[in-house]
Chain A
Amino acid sequence: MRRYVISATCLAWLAIIALLFGPARVLAQPAASKFEAQLIWGTNDSKSPDPRHKPVTPEILERLKELPLKWSHYFEVNRRQFALATNEGKRIEMSDKCDIEVKNLGNSNVEVALFGKGEKVVKRTQPLPSGEILVLGGNAPNATAWLVILKRIK
């Protein structure tokens, strides 16, 4: 009887330890996430005056067309990929005038700040799970637009 009591007590403690430390430690593991940011120029012209610009991928084009944007052509100006551990933040230069600062808050959440000419324009915090995109955009001269697309790729 005494042996069974000891065994039951050991099992109970093991269960407690597993419950306390197992999930907590798994959750606490800093998981690095990979992100991709693209600077896009939107226009109704079929060609970009800058030969370095290339059309966006069909996947991005399709998703942009589902948004209430009026432009028919989108060109990729710059693309940056970067990895962020949980609670890590990085400032990414997208162009001479445009930077973004992305912080991985964990649990699929990100904090994104957009800088225009070095000045912080907007800061946004939201979930950004894999497969979702965050599009920051604004009007540009000659009825065109600039867009920064951020997505988690891993």
Chain B
Amino acid sequence: MMEYNQQLKLQAYLDGELPEAEAREVANWLARDREAVALLTELRNTRQALAGFEAGFRVPESEDFYWSKIRREIERLEPVEAPVRPAIPWFKRLRGLLIPAAAAAVLAIAGLVVMQELGLRQRGTPGEAETALADAGTFTYRDFSARATLVWLTYPAENEVAGEDPIGTMD
């Protein structure tokens, strides 16, 4: 059985593609091997048959035009069909829209409730308010750098409590 490489070499020999030295080797090989001669003969006959067939065929138009006609005809007979999607029932489509819409709405409501709660708490906190009682006059000083609020009271008046205590009125 002849190897594939040997078959290729015979084909190259037949096509005249081998260098001179290799061509000589192949010629010597052919002189010794009947199988090789038989294959070479078959290959030669095949080439001759193909060459004769090709020579007898002539395309009536230019090649490009000829093949373009064939392509157009194929396209006409087999129009490209768009993939048909299965029809989705309207309630499924509606459900598909309703789920995210409902979730967004409920989240928005929840957010509003939380914000309202926070807002009420914030509004519920009184900020700053001061009520002076017992005829006390007050003034308030706020020092942002010292982070301090000073509320100065005129009560108790010195003459009201003073004198009883060497240190002060409130201490």
Contacts and interface: CB of A to CB of B under 8 A. Distances in A.
Contacts of B125: 105-107, 109, 127
Interface string B123-150: 0011111111110101001010111111
A84 to B, nearest CB: 15
B156 interface: yes
A146 B163 contact: no
Contact of B147 (A126, A133, A144): A133
Interface in B92-142: 95, 99-100, 102-103, 106-107, 110-111, 113-114, 117-118, 121-122, 125-134, 136, 138, 141
A122 interface: yes
B167 A124 contact: no
Nearest to B113: A20
A91 interface: no
A63 B168 contact: no
Nearest to A136: B151
Nearest to A129: B147
Given A120-B133, A124-B129, A23 B114 contact: yes
B167 A109 contact: no
Interface in A105-154: 105-107, 109, 111, 114, 116-117, 119-127, 131-142, 144-146, 148
Contact of A105 (B126, B134, B151, B165): B126
B171 interface: yes
A109 B152 CA distance: 20
27 contacts: A5-B95, A15-B110, A16-B107, A67-B141, A69-B150, A105-B126, A109-B126, A116-B156, A117-B156, A117-B161, A121-B133, A122-B130, A122-B132, A123-B130, A124-B128, A124-B131, A126-B149, A132-B149, A134-B148, A136-B153, A138-B156, A140-B169, A141-B163, A141-B169, A145-B168, A146-B168, A146-B169
Given A19-B111, A117-B156, 9 more contacts: A48-B167, A107-B122, A121-B134, A121-B136, A122-B131, A126-B149, A135-B151, A140-B167, A140-B170
